[in-house]
Structure 1
Amino acid sequence: MKKFMLCLAVLGMTFTANAQIQTPQPSPFSKVEQKVGLTDVTLEYSRPNMRERTIFGDLVPYGKVWRLGANTNTKISFSTDVTVQGKELKAGTYALFAIPNENKWEIVFYSNASNWGAPQELDESKIAAKVNVETYKLPMTIETFTMSFDDLTSNGATLGILWANVYAGVKFEVPTDKIVAANIDKVMTGPNADDYYAAAVYYLQEGKDAKQAKIWIDKAMAMTPKPAFYQLRQQSLIYAKAGDKKGAIEIAKKSLAASKEAGNPDYIKMNTDSLKEWGAM
């Protein structure tokens, strides 16, 4: 009997391992990516059908937490901080839940986006934002649960929720003006120390104009209150490449001293080797 049961178990595992038939999901997965101003917004959800069922007040009870779709959590991600119906929401990924009522819904942005479906009770500490939205009766029936980004502007959009004959819209704003203003200020005030440093090191590594690299590295060091040993190391190499051996030796000695202070044996050796190569030791 034990051998017979073992054979059945092996056969069952064999059939499972060799299964090749794929069937469609009854609530297919959908992923929507939308650029709103300068913010990337991604929505992931599954889309059930009505199938002649009464949806709101029956399949989706009033006053209960609903997962806004089917299967795993519906998720929304923002690449920047946003404002949802006047409430601030940090950049990140959130599970989306709804608490439907006949004329108004509560929409919940939940920080735990990894669980499957709606929890029986929401943990208040994980509610990043909760907003109230009005619902509207549609003049037609939407068979498949649908979510969309509507009323797009440079500064915001509306997350539309449609199913059966109900529409709910969640308005959110993105910080486009703030981002653009910061970019303008940065460009208009010119490159910063990191910009000059990166450009100079790139020119050194790629064997480009060493004299131009020297100009950029000098600007970077002048804008840096206390250059690090590794920055001084790059400056010394650029000076040597530009033919200024005296300047390279002077800066390499500074880098060597800073390397010893930092206790970095690799840079101590590299600076020592260069100073020997340049006839300074």
Structure 2
Amino acid sequence: MFKIFFISIITIATVNSQLTVPALSPSSKTIQTVGLTEIEIEYSRPSKRGRTIFGENGIIPYNELWRTGANATTKITFTDDVTIMETPIKKGSYAILTKPGKSTWEVYFYTYTSGNWNTYVDQTPIASFTAKFIELNEVLETFMIYMDQITLDSSQLVFAWDQIKIVLPLKFDTHKKTMTSIEKTISGPTDFQYFQVALYLHETQTDLDKALEYIKKVTKNKNALFFQVYRESLILADLDRKTEAITAAKRSLELSKKVKNKDFIRLNEKNIKKWSR
């Protein structure tokens, strides 16, 4: 009787316990903002572990569909519309499958519906792309998907493992979305908002005259800050109005000295000297 009771305890303990072991291909979630768009990538990261990865003798044969990672479906989500290699893609979530080849990869996007990657194999992708692979000088042990070469309205979607990487160029309509936001708020903006708009228009070289108009709404205030007046000087210089740019730089220099900001003191002195030639 005691023996049966003891065995029952062992059985119950075994059933109720949870085995915890590390994943060979750990899951990863990457969130990257490009301009005003957020990109989220969810995938699993297998490692090389001394194996041949791509090719006839590799674990991923050429010209066969690959889940582009391990375990569940690789998923990418865009919060705004995006253009990939001149193909427009609507905002939303997509499953990514790839077909590695000897010199190029085929990259397939499917509307995301399931974490089981096999459900996409017989489907027609909503978009497909051909990308040449780039040889790496070193071995990348663990598979990676990441965003690179990020600007205000573009980036690269990169797949990399072993000694190769694949790059897909992405474009975002950041300017249109930004200008829409500006138009909605410009009816009664604060000095800070005027400065933000001027900064954006200047940095993107979109409309320097409008940038000057907005920054002057800030700098006409006697309480304008040194970095705001500094921006006015840069805009004036880009408009080739050097005399006015020097005047603004001198004002920014004095304001910078009052707050003992060495960086802007140095920048203004350098610009005054350059524009005075």
Identify whether the pair has TM-score above 0.5, normalized to the shorter chain.
Answer: yes
Distance 1:9 1:110 in 2: 50
Q: Where does residue 271 of structure 2 map in the other structure?
A: none
1:8/1:64 Cα in 2 relative to 1: closer, same or farther (>3 Å)? Answer: farther
Q: Where does residue 151 of structure 1 map in the other structure?
A: 149
1:120 positional shift: 7.2
* Candidates 182, 185, 188, aligned match of 1:184: 182
Distance 1:61 1:10 in 2: 49
> Conserved in 2, the CA contact under 8 Å of 1:150 and 1:158?
yes
What are the superposed Cα offsets for residues 42-71 of structure 1, whole Å, 9 maximum, x if unpaired?
A: 011111111111111121111111111000
Q: Where does residue 228 of structure 2 map in the other structure?
A: none
Distance 1:72 1:44 in 2: 9
Query: TM-score, normalised to structure 1's length?
Result: 0.60
> Conserved in 2, the CA contact under 8 Å of 1:73 and 1:113?
no
What are the superposed Cα offsets for residues 92-147 of structure 1, whole Å, 9 maximum, x if unpaired?
A: 111111111111111111113413234473311xx221111110111111111111
State the superposition RMSD in angstroms.
2.4
Distance 1:47 1:88 in 2: 28
> Conserved in 1, the CA contact under 8 Å of 2:110 and 2:120?
no
Distance 1:86 1:123 in 2: 23
**Structure 1 residue 106 corresponds to structure 2 residue 106:** yes
1:170/1:122 Cα in 2 relative to 1: closer, same or farther (>3 Å)? Answer: farther
For residue 65 of structure 1, give the secondary structure of its aligned residue in structure 2: coil
Instruction: Report 1:163-202 matches (<5 A).
Output: 163-188=161-186
- Greater Rg over alpha carbons, structure: 1
Structure 1 gap segments, 5+ residues each: 1-6, 192-281
Distance 1:12 1:68 in 2: 40
What are the superposed Cα offsets for residues 224-267 of structure 1, whole Å, 9 maximum, x if unpaired?
A: xxxxxxxxxxxxxxxxxxxxxxxxxxxxxxxxxxxxxxxxxxxx
Moved over 3 A (4+): 7-14, 188-191
* Candidates 24, 40, 43, aligned match of 1:42: 40
Query: TM-score, normalised to structure 2's length?
Result: 0.61
* Candidates 14, 28, 31, aligned match of 2:29: 31
Identity of aligned residues (%): 33
Q: Where does residue 232 of structure 2 map in the other structure?
A: none
1:18 positional shift: 2.0
Structure 2 gap segments, 5+ residues each: 1-5, 190-277
1:71/1:179 Cα in 2 relative to 1: closer, same or farther (>3 Å)? Answer: same
